[in-house]
Structure 1
Amino acid sequence: MGSARATKLILHGLNVINVVFGLAIAAASIWFFVQVHEFTTLRNSNHYLLDYTVYWPQAVPWIFFVVGVFVMSVSCCGFTSVSKNNRGLIHMYIIFLGIVIVCLIAAAVVSLVFADNKSTDDFVKDTVWDVYFQAKTDNEVASAFGVIERKLHCCGADSPRDYKNWKAEFPMSCCDVYYRGWLEPYSIDCEFTNKLANERHGCSTVAAQYARIAIKVLSAASIFIAIIAIISLVAAVALSRSMRKKPRVPVAQYESESKKVLLVLSGHGCFGKYLCRIAGREPTTQCHHCSCDEDTAQHTLEECPAWDSQRRVLVAAVGPDLSLPAVVKSMVESERSWKKVKSFCEDVILQKEAAEREREKSSDLPIRKRKTGPWHYYLASHSVDNVHGARLISLTIMAKDELIKGVLYVMNIVYAVFGFVTAATGIWFFVQLQEFVSLRNSNHYLLDYRVYWPQVAPWLFILLGLFVMMVAFCGWCGANRESRGLLGIYGLFLILIIVGQVIAATLIFVYVDGEDTDRFVKDTVYDGYYNSQSNPDVFKAFGRIERKLRCCGANDARDYRSWRNDLPLTCCQDSYYRATCDFTDKEANERLGCAKVASVYTKIISSSVAGASLLISLVEIVGVILAWKLFHSLREVEHYIHERKEGETEC
């Protein structure tokens, strides 16, 4: 018990550390993104129109931001599971902690391998030089570039000498600012002879070094959190193993042999008072074995003359005091007393039950007839006085729970299939887009670091599909293990999936199914088409697209009249079996251009997956409701239901 408590305290401390460092990584990532964005917003937009590539200095902040938020979420889950002392939540915490460790290590490795290299230097250098040249003609950009120079303590793009070709002196941002008491800040004349200004490095070098340092710091923090997470994982596994299911109540272990004792101690046996006032099976409380007006458990133990012979044996074992507290005390203190009390109760109750059955058979009173309707069992189960009524209701509840579990199994299989299909569609969609992107003339796409919606849609599908499959597996495990912790996590994440699907579908319908997609596809197809005129490899690749989409040219078949004597074979039907394809071919001339066809296909695929997501979200709402019902129907109580023995009464 002490070791488990110490493990819990350790886990609490480790989770606090993880939350703090996760928050720090997320905050640092936001800061890094803001710094990078300050450069990219100053670029000459005319140079960055058609490059759809995302570069590592732009991706790194988002990678670490997502990882930091994930670490905080899992740490909060771990804190809750330890506080609730719930094995199901701890198991889920262990699973997600393993995923966190993999993500942390992967983020650090990817950043150090791909981002901390020459590509970062080239990205920063291209951006700084573009801002520097634009600052020559744009005063607002020049002022913003001055802020960057002052912040980074740098001068010029490559070095301070960059200003000597077109300025009479250094800008004030290249020189230090001095303060004197409470006076306003002032700076000295910033001439080309200023020693401090000439000793400064160029902003491209300083910014690249800062970017690399930030990447290394984020990667080191990620590795450190991974180490803490590994320690947390070991502690969580140890805590999970130390937890055991609550032992069953000792009396319930011997229900078959101690039931008669319980009937006597509780007063819910074949006693006149119970049968009259609670069970409604007798018109009076009179004892049928003597002339006493009220038959109770205490009367049977101490007074009823019908049981004198059994009572003498009982008194010899437990003493003359046959009050219930004295009998219970004697049972606890002596095994011999326990056996004698059990023998007395079994003998007496069996005889009283036999007499009760005889009265049922011989009496014509309706009140003594056995009540077997569902309303009787419903009332009995709510008063805990009718054992068999409670038993039937428990069986009914168990049957309902099994039905809910079965439906959840089927629904989670549907969710998993939908997630797999969505992820596969996203991968296929991404591959199809890459066929277009690979046709572009790379010289036109060097400096645009923006991401366009047709490129975002496949990744939305992939992430959504993987998340749905993971949550479906969580729901299946929760229903199978009947774990309230897993079911709670499953319901929570299912709600997040529903919200995510609605948001993703809305974004797709609003942004992907619009003019941006037409412009993106048109620019890409046109560039591939024009590049195919001088590159045979691109011409073959563009032909494969024409054959696959059953299109011709960029706009239509007339595009080829300006530079070819006939149409490509890929524009004609049965192109594998033809030798030529003339401009007079009717089927080829009726084909649409690849720009329009590709745009329509992109919108159809995106809209179809978005519509399917909205439809499946309705089914997921049903899953949330069923998980919630099963969550509430499960209780931390052990039920021990046995079949009714032959000849046993409802007493």
Structure 2
Amino acid sequence: MGEFNEKKTTCGTVCLKYLLFTFNCCFWVSSGHARPSHPVICGSLPIVSSLPSLLAGLAVMAVGIWTLALKSDYISLLASGTYLATAYILVVAGVVVMVTGVLGCCATFKERRNLLRLYFILLLIIFLLEIIAGVLAYVYYQQLNAELKENLKDTMTKRYHQKGHEGVTSAVDKLQQEFHCCGSNNSQDWRDSEWIRSGEAGGRVVPDSCCKTVVAGCGQRDHASNIYKVEGGCISKLETFIQEHLRIIGAVGIGIACVQVFGMIFTCCLYKSLKLEHY
């Protein structure tokens, strides 16, 4: 009877090990080649499975880097730092994912309870980071419209072509050209621009980036045949652009966080099973 109970416990532990390994392979986008054949060869499995974890960690980081590098042109136009914070959170989470993938396989097959504890802590950190990123994205999604209406016009009219605000100048020019818009709400907003009223604009009534065909001095004429006159101005264009990306960040954050719950459950069960066998 005692022999049967010992065998049953061992089988349960083995099942948990395979479940946890499968979780690692699924969560870290396994390529399908890292399959355990027997616990005896566990020493080589962490090495085989580390490549998928690295690739998946890079994939998570890519979303954050995409925001920081390719989508950061308009960050200088935003009053809040929330959008930038979500990107940094994803980058950090990506690094933790890569480390955790390798550690998870080592902890599972070497049956080290101290490694399992560390693995659980890292899973919890990823869970919290992704939840925070998802919540921040959702909250900022709701506040974005009000923030843009309150701050975008002042940013464009008071900082455009002003010393020390070269990033804003570049962002405004790219915004107006890329989204075919002129001014925060409309082209009339530029009448309040400090740059236009200072005389440094060279007779322009709008920046040259408002023009359908950009040439030096084209902003001297604000007729509809020459500049972009769109309903809602640049606010609506920028809001749509950022909201689309926030939806991606939110989905990635909440989605990965939900998957993490299963990993933490498997880890706790395996830890408890190993503890019972030890005693």
Query: Do Structure 1 and Structure 2 share a fold, with TM-score over 0.5?
Result: yes
Inter-CA distance 523–614: structure 2 relative to 1 (3 Å threshold): farther
User: SS of the residue aligned with 1:551?
Assistant: coil
In the TM superposition, residue 418 of structure 1 has moved relative to its aligned partner by 5.9
- 8 A Cα contact 2:100 2:122, kept in partner: yes
What is the match of residue 524 of structure 1? 155
**1:197-208 equivalence runs, <5 A:** none
What is the match of residue 3 of structure 2? 384
Equivalenced residues, count: 239
**Which of residues 8, 15, 18 is equivalent to 1:400?**
15
What is the match of residue 589 of structure 1? 229
What is the match of residue 58 of structure 2? 420
CA distance in 1, matches of 2:105, 2:236: 44
What is the match of residue 626 of structure 1? 266
What is the match of residue 502 of structure 1? 131
Inter-CA distance 398–470: structure 2 relative to 1 (3 Å threshold): closer
What is the match of residue 478 of structure 1? 107
CA distance in 2, matches of 1:536, 1:507: 28
Inter-CA distance 416–523: structure 2 relative to 1 (3 Å threshold): farther
In the TM superposition, residue 384 of structure 1 has moved relative to its aligned partner by 1.8
Post-superposition CA distance 1:73-126 (Å, at most 9, x none) = xxxxxxxxxxxxxxxxxxxxxxxxxxxxxxxxxxxxxxxxxxxxxxxxxxxxxx
Post-superposition CA distance 1:321-373 (Å, at most 9, x none) = xxxxxxxxxxxxxxxxxxxxxxxxxxxxxxxxxxxxxxxxxxxxxxxxxxxxx
Inter-CA distance 504–513: structure 2 relative to 1 (3 Å threshold): same
Letter in 1 for 2:183: G
**Which of residues 553, 559, 564 is equivalent to 2:183?**
553
What is the match of residue 430 of structure 1? 68
- 8 A Cα contact 1:453 1:511, kept in partner: yes
In the TM superposition, residue 539 of structure 1 has moved relative to its aligned partner by 5.7
Post-superposition CA distance 1:114-149 (Å, at most 9, x none) = xxxxxxxxxxxxxxxxxxxxxxxxxxxxxxxxxxxx
Measured on the aligned residues, the alpha-carbon RMSD in Å equals 4.6
In the TM superposition, residue 621 of structure 1 has moved relative to its aligned partner by 0.6
Post-superposition CA distance 1:204-250 (Å, at most 9, x none) = xxxxxxxxxxxxxxxxxxxxxxxxxxxxxxxxxxxxxxxxxxxxxxx
Inter-CA distance 546–565: structure 2 relative to 1 (3 Å threshold): closer
Structure 2 stretches lacking a partner, 5+ long: 30-52, 197-202
CA distance in 2, matches of 1:407, 1:477: 13
In the TM superposition, residue 620 of structure 1 has moved relative to its aligned partner by 0.7
| Max Rg structure | 1
In the TM superposition, residue 467 of structure 1 has moved relative to its aligned partner by 3.1
Post-superposition CA distance 1:449-505 (Å, at most 9, x none) = x97434433333333333343333432332343322212221233234323433443
CA distance in 1, matches of 2:117, 2:166: 58
CA distance in 2, matches of 1:627, 1:432: 37
- 8 A Cα contact 2:77 2:168, kept in partner: yes
CA distance in 2, matches of 1:541, 1:502: 30
Letter in 1 for 2:155: T
In the TM superposition, residue 520 of structure 1 has moved relative to its aligned partner by 4.9
Structure 1 stretches lacking a partner, 5+ long: 1-381, 441-449, 639-651
Inter-CA distance 589–494: structure 2 relative to 1 (3 Å threshold): same
Letter in 2 for 1:467: V
What is the match of residue 46 of structure 2? none
- 8 A Cα contact 1:505 1:610, kept in partner: yes
What is the match of residue 92 of structure 2? 463
Inter-CA distance 601–634: structure 2 relative to 1 (3 Å threshold): same
- 8 A Cα contact 2:182 2:228, kept in partner: yes
User: SS of the residue aligned with 2:257?
Assistant: helix
User: SS of the residue aligned with 1:531?
Assistant: coil
Letter in 1 for 2:176: E
**1:365-384 equivalence runs, <5 A:** 382-384=1-3
CA distance in 1, matches of 2:123, 2:13: 25
In the TM superposition, residue 432 of structure 1 has moved relative to its aligned partner by 6.0
Inter-CA distance 466–390: structure 2 relative to 1 (3 Å threshold): closer
CA distance in 1, matches of 2:261, 2:167: 50
In the TM superposition, residue 407 of structure 1 has moved relative to its aligned partner by 1.0
CA distance in 2, matches of 1:487, 1:420: 23
**Which of residues 401, 410, 424 is equivalent to 2:25?**
410
- 8 A Cα contact 1:419 1:465, kept in partner: yes
Inter-CA distance 433–624: structure 2 relative to 1 (3 Å threshold): same
TM-score (norm. length: structure 1): 0.30
Inter-CA distance 436–619: structure 2 relative to 1 (3 Å threshold): closer
- 8 A Cα contact 1:420 1:465, kept in partner: yes
CA distance in 1, matches of 2:6, 2:168: 77
Which fold has the larger relative contact order, with Cα–Cα distance below 8 Å and residues 6 or more apart in sequence?
2
User: SS of the residue aligned with 1:623?
Assistant: helix
**1:156-305 equivalence runs, <5 A:** none
**1:567-606 equivalence runs, <5 A:** 568=208, 572=212, 583-585=223-225, 588-590=228-230, 592-606=232-246
- 8 A Cα contact 2:210 2:227, kept in partner: no
What is the match of residue 250 of structure 2? 610
Inter-CA distance 527–478: structure 2 relative to 1 (3 Å threshold): farther
CA distance in 2, matches of 1:463, 1:485: 23
Inter-CA distance 479–596: structure 2 relative to 1 (3 Å threshold): same
User: SS of the residue aligned with 2:94?
Assistant: helix
Post-superposition CA distance 1:280-321 (Å, at most 9, x none) = xxxxxxxxxxxxxxxxxxxxxxxxxxxxxxxxxxxxxxxxxx
TM-score (norm. length: structure 2): 0.61
Letter in 2 for 1:460: I
User: SS of the residue aligned with 1:583?
Assistant: coil
User: SS of the residue aligned with 1:589?
Assistant: coil
Letter in 2 for 1:626: F
User: SS of the residue aligned with 2:228?
Assistant: helix
CA distance in 1, matches of 2:224, 2:120: 62
Inter-CA distance 527–459: structure 2 relative to 1 (3 Å threshold): farther
**Which of residues 110, 117, 120 is equivalent to 1:488?**
117
- 8 A Cα contact 2:86 2:136, kept in partner: no
CA distance in 2, matches of 1:461, 1:537: 24
Letter in 2 for 1:462: V
